[in-house]
């Protein structure tokens, strides 16, 4: 994971934890869409399954958003809108 990707992971994780009671469980480049990353968002609400896993939602985000917003102190407006639309 590059420094930008690690920074973006932390930004998204902090945002979804504080706003939606979710956390980022996985973050990796998409094999099917080379210009995108996949983010696995897991809810901290609800009940874990027998393996201790919470419900998950996988979302794809454009690589350009990761590289643009990964160096910021907080997620950019486009990333916030994307996350808000996915988790509402």
The domain ranges of the chain are 3-87
pTM given for the model:
0.85
Residue 32, C-beta contacts closer than 8 angstroms, at least 6 positions apart: none
Per-residue pLDDT reduced to its tens digit, 9-56: 999 999 999 999 999 999 999 999 889 999 999 998 878 888 888 889
Question: What is the layout of strands, in order, in the sheet containing 56-62?
Answer: 22-29, 36-43, 56-62
Q: Which of 41, 37, 34 is nearest to 16 (CA)?
A: 41
DSSP-based three-state secondary structure for 10: helix
């Amino acid at each position: 994971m590059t420094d930008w990707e690690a920074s973006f992971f932390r930004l998204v994780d902090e945002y979804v934890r504080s706003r939606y009671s979710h956390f980022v469980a996985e973050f990796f480049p998409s094999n099917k869409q080379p210009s995108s990353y996949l983010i696995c968002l897991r809810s901290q609400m609800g009940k874990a399954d027998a393996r201790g896993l919470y419900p998950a939602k996988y979302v794809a985000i454009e690589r350009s958003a990761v590289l643009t917003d990964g160096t910021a102190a907080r997620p950019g407006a486009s990333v916030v809108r994307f996350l808000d639309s996915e988790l509402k």
